[in-house]
Chain A
Amino acid sequence: MLYKLIVLLPVIGALIGGLLGRWIGHRGAEIITSSLLVLSAILSCVAFYQVAIAGQGPEEAITFFRWFDVGAFEADWALRIDTLTVVMMVVVTGVSSLVHIYSIGYMSHDPHRARFFSYLSLFTFAMLALVTADNLLQMFFGWEGVGLASYLLIGFWYKKPSANAAAIKAFLVNRVGDFGFAIGIMAIFFVFDAVDFDTIFAKAPELAGTNFLFLGQSVDVLTTICLLLFVGAMGKSAQIFLHTWLPDAMEGPTPVSALIHAATMVTAGVFLVCRMSYLFEYAPDALYVVTLVGAVTAFFAASVALVQNDIKRVIAYSTCSQLGYMFFAAGLGAYDAAMFHLFTHAFFKALLFLCAGSVIHGMSDEQDMRNMGGLFKYLPWTGMLMIIGTLSITGVGIPHTLIGFSGFVSKDAIIEGAYAVGTPIGGFAFWIGLIAAAMTAFYSWRLIFMTFFGRPRAPIDIMSHVHESPATMMIPLLVLAFGAIFAGIALQSLFIGSASEGFWGDALLVLGSTGHEVVEAAEQGAHDLPNWVVLGPFVVMLLGLTWAAYWYLKRPDIPERIAANRGLLYLFLLNKWYFDEIYDFLFVRPAKRLGRFLWKRGDGWLIDGFGPDGVAALVLGTTRRAIKLQTGYIYHYAFAMLIGVAAAATYLYVKAVGAL
């Protein structure tokens, strides 16, 4: 009942807000959806305690009803409650409820708030359906559900063309990933004859190493399946090649960016890989790819974030980069570290986004950092909280201890773990992680310095209006800041430390001496990691910080000069490695040309011309001729009759004569 309530409360809120919004008013919709979400969050915490800490979770999936029952194709509508689920539940409902409350303040001037809150709750429901799924089909439902909600929320300001374009882009790019995911599900059903996790997981070991023929090549079954699933994860989690939608998605309202495009939906891919650890563990090649993609993304996104000027885009690329960390952690087998980073990341990234929202709110919807600066004395609270978030993301803490901000605890665990794995790919990931950490520090502090310090670059009339946000926006920020500071220290032992064995239970599977054990060992200090490895992340962080401080506080003329010179590297980064341009050239324009061709020639000329339009014209032409027959003259009529008789007689006569 508890678990069912957690999932159902948001959808109730969404229905009330969406269908009855007109009658209960904006205030009513806000209060109802938010309070239902808060209730759901509290229940999630209870569930977290019961399942993960007290170990009293339900033994079996909680079934609502049977969804599909077609031959071997069976799927229930059920909740799978284990540690993985409740961790995600806490993240989702927690951030969602805070975002709901924040939005009350943030969206207070919007005329369509009821719709907004309904969408938010709908998203939360879909996300919960995703994380509680007992089978791949339900997961796919949630997967598409969050995609839909994301589309609706990015395009919430539907009168803005850029928002519509961004929404469509997000939807289409995700379609690529979802296509892979869907094929993966079909492949699983084809191979396993089932879509529910218990059956799949139980059968996975038997199928390890089996091959099938594809285009004459022998291909490993599980690797194929896992790669297909990973394509889905890449789309949803904005990994390189399928990342292009995420920065554009910042066209949506900022709370949406915080909830969907930072804390929850984009982590669905990581969750998927962790959830399917029972499969991935038997497909080492797939894990290799996961690591590679994750590492490259971490590097790529961080590099692009270095030069972006839109405050939300910087954070968006930062999200992309952090997701890369999670993926390569998962790829190295450190699912627990990945989940831990996911957990802490939700706090500090949501905090950063909401703070950015607060800045934007205060700056009368200005998003370009070049027009900010010196805001700290106008927005002291926001500034403080944002610095906390930055300290957390850059990983400030005391090396060799577990004392530090959340980001320090989780990210350093990943980087150290990567080194400790000892494989070449692990080493690659380690170095990439290290470089990305330096860049993270740089761009994060660059954001802080450009926004809050230095001389104000905004026009006077905007500066005079700059104001701190209302309490409804600040309270969620405080809660998130609390998490950003302490979540790492408090929960480290549970997620990746000494108690992690009992904490995760059967939710994750790790085979052999991979990252998981290494991380665990490292954190307990039993493993001998070289000193420089432990100190590495901290040092590069300091390096990035110092560099940023030098450039943006001491010598703001240097970055300005670089920007003005438009060097090749600068342009390369500013234009996000030219991904959008390449895609535009490779896919978008040919597709548009094809679409135009099919539309104009195929549909307009061929189908309409010979179909509806042609037939209609033919009918009208025939009609005109038929009406012309009706002249009104009796002798014409008589003629028609006589000709009819003559024709019939002649026909039959000829026929009869012919028959003789």
Chain B
Amino acid sequence: MRENTVLKDLLIDDFEQLVASVNGQADGLFFQQQKEAFNNFAALGFPTPKIEEWKYSNVKNIVNERYTFNQATSVSDEDILSLETPNLEGNILYFINGVYQPQLSRIVSPAEQVLILPLAEARHSHADLLATYFNKLVKNESEAFTALNTAFATEGLFIHVERNKVVESPIVLRFISDTRQGNAGAIPRIVVGVEENAQVKFAESFRTLGDQKSFTNIVTEIHVAESANVEYYKVQMESDEASHIGTTQVKMLDNSHFYAATVCLDGGFIRNNLNILIDGQNCDAYMYGLYLPDGKQHMDNHTLADHNKPNSHSNELYKGILVDQSSAVFNGKIFVRPDAQKTNAYQSCKNIVLSPSAKMNTKPQLEIFADDVKCSHGTTTGQLDEEALFYLRSRGIPKHEALALLMFAFCEDVLANIRIDAIRENLEQIVAKKLNAEEK
């Protein structure tokens, strides 16, 4: 019998209330899945470091707190303005503590290009369509946080792009944890269905207001059909009191492209799972990541490129700079299944650890069951290149500037791959500022 935590007990109560409130309503199809997932969660309990996948990321403190879940607060225009990305045009969708805020959001893409609907609404208005995508890719029976998300999957967003449609404007989901009135929790579920030969780019951004604790448990399911092209960005700029556990589950079919960049700028505790099932031939999957923990922040990125069919390609580059007493984890799995001949899969993880008290754990994990494949992986963890530093200084660039220049260049390797200009430029500025501050 697993030990119950404060949060688990609270969630059991919350779920009972949910059951009472739903009581025989029309969305029985989804609710059945929620109930099953809740049973999964109740049986699994929150993971402990005894579970290999959670060895270096202990959620004990996070799950022994109380949070008020999915309760929107009133947020002023000023609060929002301070969190906006300059020059970013597109569909901007706001969520406060996980709850969609139509009055703050703007949808600019025409309805014939893309369907963008709050999940709660889609469950009624587009139940059949949603049902073909919802809860199809995730593993509720083995992953507690995913099961928990599925159990409470009432808030979130459904994005659907019909075949041959190109969504010109990016879709930006902005999640704000407002902790000014107390600990706040959010359990949003994002479901994205991109049909054959369609194209879309979207981003998830996470911010905090206030200095109390927040807990975000997000699951994003992305279906990339034949010849479709999806870009996905995740940017985390949360407070030191924020905890974030997110799983992005992707499935790719023949000739499709999926392109992801994850940028962890700030956040007390971050765990990102990015799992890509490459279930088609001639697919291209890219994963870029950058993490810059400081203070006592902990940033854990788990990725999986699961090659299930022949002739596809995946490429991954994750980089991190650690200072102070921060810690980070990179766990990169590449699976090449028996059918997946002629797979090309590459992975690289590079880290700079600038403080003796900072701690980096890297674990590349390749499991290859096909014989005609090209796979490579490499991880490095070290200091800044002294020779490069001397070279810059010998040209008159002061040590502090030279360090900042080298660190920025290190990060730019990842940032340059963000193809939404306004987001990239904003991140470049924030990163440059952060690196400069750290050196001083």
A and B are interacting partners: no
Binding site for A on B (CB under 8 A): none
Which of A's residues lie within 8 Å of B, judged by CB?
A: none
